[in-house]
Chain A
Amino acid sequence: MAQVVIRNLNKKFDNEVHAVKDVNLEIRDKEFVVLVGPSGCGKTTTLRMVAGLESITSGNVLIGDKVVNDLPPMDRDIAMVFQNYALYPHMSVYQNMAFGLKMRKFERAEIEQRVHAAADILGIHELLQRKPRQLSGGQRQRVALGRAIVRHPQVFLFDEPLSNLDAKLRVQMRVELKKLHDRLGTTAIYVTHDQVEAMTLGDRVVVMKDGLVQQVGEPLELYNTPANRFVAGFIGSPAMNFAAVTVSDGGGALWAGNDGLRIKVPAPLSNRIGAYVGKPLTMGIRPEDLRIANGADPTDLSFGAVVEVVEKLGSEILLDVKVGGGSMVASVEPTTLTKVRDQVRLAINPDRLHFFDNASEAAI
């Protein structure tokens, strides 16, 4: 068991692409940390530098209390689960799982005991004599996990391990991974581009973009108080609505408005945007913080919209609506009876408004 510390980590590839920029992270012992971001954000490169599969341009990686920058992967006491499983195709499942122990010259009996113990945990006992090509995707995934856990490493590294599975299996394996981590308690770094995976698995989530860490925090912290417009749009599904608004002062309150809406900004928030009076900024509101307005809703906390698409998901209905010149998505009650081209009034939850600076995109 160990903590992993990443200090001022940089990676520049030969072609001068600066893939990872000054990343700083402290991953506590037994913590499950997820790196999430779009393709090319540097998350996998960061993971591969921790694994020792990619050289470090500058900065330090510490596992335990030891700088491992110049240690080969085999001496870092880590185990990695790859996106394509990377099972040795010519070896049986047993041999695949035993390989790491065999290379480390474990006693035969010890190897056998550990492989069987891991096979029990993952429920793959009956597969031990099979070859990887005789397994389904989910079974291969389990074997890849098994190969990682037999070694009892200090750190697990996961490189998009579920992205090759179909949707249903992915959800199932996600739960099993969570259980496995609760059971083993090994420090884990997990890379994914799927924000749902990040939110459900991570004790903490690191959002990355263009090689830079955008925000580090617990899942709900990212959801409730995103640090910038990118995190706000990336975390949450369907994504947060953004509207270009101008701040104005009127009747002792601040208003955020554009051609389709005019919202009275409630007190604690209005203090923060006081400096923006007369200036444009971006307002953000999540689809789940919008609902169909009723008579009791004040007009300064609601706005009119025209329904363009109705997506009935069963548990909720998503309304794609036109608001002035822009568009928004609202998540409304599944019992709502709304049709395309209907005129509706949407009420907002004023406590859950977000504002972002247009230039820096930082949350205000």
Chain B
Amino acid sequence: MAIAYASTPRRVGAPHRGPITSLLEDERWLAMALLLPTVVLLGLFIAYPFFEGVYLSITNTKVGVPGAFVGFANFDKIWNDGIFRVAVWNTVLYTFVTTVFKLALGLWLALLLNRHFKGKAFVRAFILLPFIIPTVLSTFAWKWMFDPTFSVINWVLFKLGVITGRINWLGDPELAMISVIIVNVWRGVPFYAISLLAGLQTISPELHEAAAIDGAPPWKRFWYVTWPLLLPVTMVVVLFSVIQTFADFQLVYVLTGGGPANATHLFATYAYQIGVGTGLLSEGAAISLAMFPVLFLVVIIQLLYIRRVETH
């Protein structure tokens, strides 16, 4: 840019500039002016809450009680908290299982959608529905479907003769976790499918034709051509989704509230329950912050991977 400016000839007899205009002629001031809105927004909505959270986590603040500095007492406390440990395990399990299913189903859907068929555009738009509907809304619908009395799933299974009694989807600790996972997969698959479809469409059909002529049967074409070329997109999608899922809140909050008996608590829901529900702000902040190292690691891996792809 500097070169471009330097080579632009000064217009002779240009009108006199005001003080602000001439200040913005200087690239350093212009850069600052252009960056300011972003800095303000990020500072207000990302940096401030984050540092406030860090500050809260090392005090003993409660709702209405300004706290004093307590060091790492909150972290010590949650370390020895059995429910916190359950929440950690749940979050890891929830993230891992849903990611595997979302990736597998999303890839399968993307491969199907990448073929030519009638009504392709409509189906592609339709697939996105679970992703477009506000989570709270769709989760309420699922809550009805899992309702012990009114469950449509139970009704269908009963009518088909698969079950004889009611399945207590959200009341049984193990089933509740499975239910939560099902809803998350349902909600997350479209994102995978559409992103991977976009990735698939960047792969030239000629490569598949070349591989077909080279003697590769369909699954080898997938394994040797499609998959390696789709991997960069897949990595980004997975890491994105892992971050989202790890910090998931709405879905569990609406569906089970973390219950039954804390069986479905995740980091976020447990932090909310402790911090807002019971008013122990500092402890809630400590629980939220415990997520940070894991997510930080994920982000680092993501950035390193993207850089590697870019430089190669």
Please give the residue numbers on chain A whose beta carbons come within 8 Å of chain B beta carbons, in ascending order: 51-53, 72-74, 78-80, 82-84, 86-90, 99-100, 103-104, 147, 151
Contact = CB atoms under 8 A, between A and B. Distances in A.
Given A74-B217, A88-B207, A151-B214, 20 more contacts: A52-B213, A53-B212, A72-B212, A73-B213, A74-B213, A74-B215, A78-B213, A79-B213, A80-B209, A80-B210, A82-B209, A83-B206, A84-B206, A90-B228, A99-B216, A99-B224, A100-B215, A103-B211, A147-B210, A147-B214
Contacts of B204: 84, 86
B225 interface: yes
A103 B214 contact: yes
Main secondary structure of the interface of A (DSSP, over half): loop
B206 A103 contact: no
A79 B209 CA distance: 11
Given A99-B224, A103-B220, A86 B209 contact: yes
Contacts of A83: 206
B225 A103 contact: no
A86 B216 contact: no
B209 A74 contact: no
**Max chain B CB contacts within 10 Å: which of A73, A78, A84?**
A73
A80 B213 contact: yes
B214 A99 contact: yes
**Max chain A CB contacts within 10 Å: which of B207, B220, B229?**
B207
Contacts of B217: 74
A51 B213 contact: yes
B206 A86 contact: yes
A51 B211 CA distance: 12
Contacts of B224: 88, 99
B213 A104 contact: no
Interface in B189-220: 204, 206-207, 209-217, 220
A78 B215 CA distance: 10
Interface string B106-134: 00000000000000000000000000000
Give the 3 A-B CB pairs with smallest separation, nearest first.
Answer: A100-B214, A103-B215, A86-B206
Contacts, number: 58
Nearest to B208: A86
A88 B225 CA distance: 7
A339 to B, nearest CB: 42
Interface residues of B, number: 17
**Max chain B CB contacts within 10 Å: which of A74, A79, A87?**
A74
A82 B206 contact: yes
A146 to B, nearest CB: 13
Contacts of B212: 52-53, 72-74
A104 B215 contact: yes
Nearest to B207: A86
Contacts of B213: 51-53, 73-74, 78-80, 100
6 contacts: A74-B217, A86-B207, A86-B209, A88-B207, A103-B220, A151-B214
A147 B207 CA distance: 13
A90 B209 contact: no
A90 B214 contact: no
A181 B81 CA distance: 78
A82 B204 CA distance: 12
A82 B205 CA distance: 11
Contacts of A99: 211, 214, 216, 224
Given A103-B215, A103-B220, A90 B229 contact: yes
B216 A74 contact: yes
Nearest to B225: A88
Nearest to A99: B214
Contacts of A104: 215
Nearest to A51: B213
A88 B206 CA distance: 10
A104 B214 CA distance: 8
A88 B212 CA distance: 13
A52 B208 CA distance: 13
Given A88-B225, A90-B228, A99-B224, A82 B214 contact: no
A351 to B, nearest CB: 47
A188 to B, nearest CB: 15
Contacts of B209: 51, 53, 73, 80, 82, 86
Nearest to A103: B215
**Max chain A CB contacts within 10 Å: which of B206, B213, B220?**
B213
